Structure 1
Amino acid sequence: MKSAHGAPKLNKPKVVFIMGATGTGKSKLSIDLAVHYQTEVINSDKIQVYKGLDVVTNKVTHLECRGVPHHLLGVIDDPDVDFSVHDFCRDALTAINQITQRGRAAIVAGGSNSFIEVLVEDPTYNFKSIYDCCFLWLDVSPPVLNDRVSKRVDEMVAAGLIDEVRGVFIPQPDYSRGIRRAIGVPEMDRFLRAENRLIDDEKPKEVLLDEAINEIKVNTFKLTCRQVEKIRMLREERGWNIRRIDATGVFESPGAADVEKAWQSLVLEPSLAMVGDFLKGHEKSFSPPYQFPATLPQVPVEM
């Protein structure tokens, strides 16, 4: 059956997934697409679902949202409660159903690829039988991304990361659950213990702080490597049709105007084309599969 405009009529509601490592621009792309297609975004970052630590978790601000409704973003009050993958699937499915019932395609964006995998693959949810899926992958070369991560951590420190972590520090924390799992919190433990005179440390506090910040950078880059490996698995072993967009040039651009121009040409325009074809039910050739290195790059440590 065809629509009045001649395009195939597909009855399945549509869901667009924006995937990629931390720091590649997933939130920006999801908002750009949501503004263009007049739809809504569902957060799939398992740490950003909690209230608080907005700098540490790098949540989008109200201004950056540009009026786009966001679901599952800063909705959990208790910092110690565990938001499980099945909690995510339950709440994400509710939001997706609400959005698609309004005649819109839902956009799911975030770095917790294990959550997305369970949502799509677990037979309990029957997701692939109910929804049509489009997967976009924002990819940035490891050396450029590592530099981006380092600069972003410095920006987060300048924006108040240390005070945010001070605000959730307790003498006997559990860094394996809740919001305190966030990269940026456990790494500050030794510094804050010394600051609160809970331990005697021979190192000056300034040195402890520098070491904590460096550890945040290293652990964030390690996370990006794991995220890319997960996407590789979903693409190669699960057989997901994940469409790669190389955003490296955006972060190599020298100035703000050049960054925006590169974003438009390298990321937004191809993304709009891919999503547009997906929404129309058309298929076309996309960029060739990404050639992964035999081993992950070594994680540099700044001294």
Structure 2
Amino acid sequence: MVNTTGRTPLVAVVGATGTGKSELAVNIARKYNGEIINGDAMQLYEGLPIITNKMPEDERSGIPHHLLGCIGLNEETWTVGNFVSNALAKISEIRARGRLPILVGGTHYYTQSLLFHDALANKPQTEEPVKNADRPAILEEPTEVLLEKLREVDSVMADRWHPNDRRKIQRSLEIWLQTGRKASDIYEEQRTRREAPDQDTTPEGAEEASRLRMRTLVLWVGAQSDVLSKRLDARVDKMVTQGLLNEVNTLSDFYDGRIADGESIDTTRGIWVAIGYKEFLDYQAALRKGDSSPAQLNKLLALAIEKTKAGTRQYAKRQIRWIRIKLNNAIDTAGAKGSFFMLDGSDLPNWEQDVSEIGLKLVDAFLKEETLPDPSSLSPLAAEMLTASKPDTSARADLWSRKHCEVCNTTSVTESDWAVHINSKRHKKAMSSQRKRALNSTAQQPMPPAAQDIFEEQAKED
């Protein structure tokens, strides 16, 4: 039985980029008097509709879209807390108008934090919008500063995250700033509660963590991986023909203007990491310099396009992995598997029938509080993908094990991550090169101890 707060409904549309989430959300809004809330971090930024993949105005059917293009290019991407506060405020406004709130977007850590009570904050989320200027200034500092501060207040979480994983480091520090409690302690409480046979002994308020905030229907728009990869490649080609390079120029001009004004910009975060911008910088630099031949420029352009396609495909895989592991397990823990459906959009010519029509029927039954079908019965792909690919171990402190590969300069934070790394093609290739250098070196310089251990371990496996 699903345990939710109140009976007011929310429809959430999730899925990888390029699957048609926005189209489905608009169709739902048109039929059921809805308004749409954007849940995509890059689409928070104003302008740049091609780079950020905003749905064109003429395809929105006049449906109001909220939290779309609402922050400037110079602003930091919203933290989870900022997004949740602003989204809850919009949900209240939409309901006050007697309309259905529909959340759609590919930033699934935003979605998951909105759907479930935030035990890591351990306090009620305000429904008053929160702007970036209202949060602690330290959260705007460079990642290394955040990590140093986190190490001071919660060394367990500082060791948990990869030193370059700004979002997770920032979130762990934000939890401490908001609550005065270590995120590592809260994670441990949650783990103990899940494993305790007597649920009556749980700490006050801890039960809220696994509960949905509101009665929610989650629709996952998916596609077979090979089909989706081809679709994403074609979409990048279309982005180029629609004017992607003009937006790259616009963003670069904005950057140059700020630098000329004496400002500093951290290009490792915010809009600057959007796929489809950074990949074209080498081409753009050569174009502006003016000393490259047409053949060289064409080569750089082709490389930039291929990098964008590869980055998009990798991003889609990460989105799917999040849904299958984190969101899937969270929904299961909440007892809400019966309200989590996957719609197979692999067959593009039949997308309306396979995705939109089925999705609308599910929404209709959900709003009427009728019995919903078995989610795994909708398609073979649904039966496969709605089973969590593995448990979510992100809150299992007992499984955290930080290791650093000096050969590849890569840090792993769990034993499973480490096993994947040392068995990867990249690592084996690096080890092979290391062996050759060691054998051919006349100086016989000793390897670093950690690298020597990896060398010997790999040699045994080979």
Partner of 1:4 in structure 2? Answer: none
1:113 aligns with 2:113: no
* CA–CA distance in structure 2, aligned partners of residues 174 and 187 of structure 1: 16
Partner of 1:204 in structure 2? Answer: 296
| CA deviation after TM superposition for structure 1 residue 180, in Å | 1.6
Change (3 A) 1:282 1:220: same
Partner SS, residue 143 of structure 1: helix
- Residues 28-47 of structure 1: pairs in structure 2 closer than 5 A: 28-47=23-42
* CA–CA distance in structure 2, aligned partners of residues 80 and 210 of structure 1: 31
Partner SS, residue 217 of structure 2: strand
Partner of 1:281 in structure 2? Answer: 369
| CA deviation after TM superposition for structure 1 residue 118, in Å | 1.6
* CA–CA distance in structure 2, aligned partners of residues 195 and 38 of structure 1: 48
CA contact (8 A) 2:112 2:327 kept: no
Kindly indicate whether structure 1 or structure 2 has the higher relative contact order, using CA contacts under 8 Å at least 6 residues apart. Answer: 1
* CA–CA distance in structure 2, aligned partners of residues 290 and 224 of structure 1: 20
Partner of 2:72 in structure 1? Answer: 77
More helix per residue = 2
| CA deviation after TM superposition for structure 1 residue 11, in Å | 5.1
Q: Report the residue type matching 1:175 in the other structure.
A: T
- Residues 15-164 of structure 1: pairs in structure 2 closer than 5 A: 15-121=10-116, 122-123=118-119, 124=121, 125=125, 128=211, 130-164=213-247
Partner SS, residue 99 of structure 2: coil
| CA deviation after TM superposition for structure 1 residue 235, in Å | 4.7
| CA deviation after TM superposition for structure 1 residue 78, in Å | 3.5
Partner SS, residue 249 of structure 2: helix
| Higher deviation after alignment, 37-46 or 191-200 | 191-200
Change (3 A) 1:58 1:233: same
TM-score, normalising length from structure 1? 0.84
- Residues 173-192 of structure 1: pairs in structure 2 closer than 5 A: 174-192=266-284
Partner of 1:247 in structure 2? Answer: 345
Q: CA RMSD in A?
A: 2.6
Q: Report the residue type matching 1:285 in the other structure.
A: P
* CA–CA distance in structure 1, aligned partners of residues 83 and 292 of structure 2: 41
| CA deviation after TM superposition for structure 1 residue 162, in Å | 0.6
Partner SS, residue 354 of structure 2: helix
Partner of 1:3 in structure 2? Answer: none
CA contact (8 A) 1:16 1:134 kept: yes
| Higher deviation after alignment, 176-185 or 280-289 | 280-289
**Contiguous gaps of at least 5 residues in structure 2:** 126-207, 260-264, 377-381, 391-462
* CA–CA distance in structure 1, aligned partners of residues 383 and 287 of structure 2: 46
Identity %: 32
| CA deviation after TM superposition for structure 1 residue 268, in Å | 1.3
| CA deviation after TM superposition for structure 1 residue 200, in Å | 8.4
Partner SS, residue 42 of structure 2: coil
| CA deviation after TM superposition for structure 1 residue 220, in Å | 0.2
* CA–CA distance in structure 2, aligned partners of residues 176 and 48 of structure 1: 17
| CA deviation after TM superposition for structure 1 residue 198, in Å | 10
Partner SS, residue 48 of structure 1: helix
Which runs of 4 or more aligned residues in structure 1 lie more than 4 Å from their structure 2 counterparts after TM superposition? 126-130, 198-201, 292-295
Kindly name which structure, 1 or 2, has the bigger radius of gyration based on alpha carbons: 2
CA contact (8 A) 1:21 1:111 kept: yes
Q: Report the residue type matching 1:212 in the other structure.
A: A
Partner of 1:265 in structure 2? Answer: 353
Partner SS, residue 375 of structure 2: coil
* CA–CA distance in structure 2, aligned partners of residues 163 and 83 of structure 1: 26
* CA–CA distance in structure 2, aligned partners of residues 89 and 281 of structure 1: 26
Q: Report the residue type matching 2:368 in the other structure.
A: K
C-alpha distance after superposition, 1:137-171 (max 9, x if no partner): 00111111011001100000000001101111136
Change (3 A) 1:64 1:79: farther
CA contact (8 A) 2:6 2:214 kept: no
Partner SS, residue 107 of structure 1: strand
| CA deviation after TM superposition for structure 1 residue 32, in Å | 0.5
| CA deviation after TM superposition for structure 1 residue 236, in Å | 3.8
| CA deviation after TM superposition for structure 1 residue 12, in Å | 2.0
Match of 2:310 among 204, 213, 218: 218
CA contact (8 A) 1:80 1:180 kept: no
* CA–CA distance in structure 2, aligned partners of residues 129 and 56 of structure 1: 33
| CA deviation after TM superposition for structure 1 residue 245, in Å | 0.6
Partner SS, residue 52 of structure 2: coil
TM-score, normalising length from structure 2? 0.56
**Contiguous gaps of at least 5 residues in structure 1:** 1-9, 251-258, 296-303
Q: Report the residue type matching 1:188 in the other structure.
A: F
| Higher deviation after alignment, 92-101 or 228-237 | 228-237
* CA–CA distance in structure 1, aligned partners of residues 30 and 288 of structure 2: 46
* CA–CA distance in structure 1, aligned partners of residues 27 and 304 of structure 2: 34
Q: How many residues align?
A: 276
C-alpha distance after superposition, 1:262-289 (max 9, x if no partner): 1221111111111111111122223315
Change (3 A) 1:129 1:231: closer
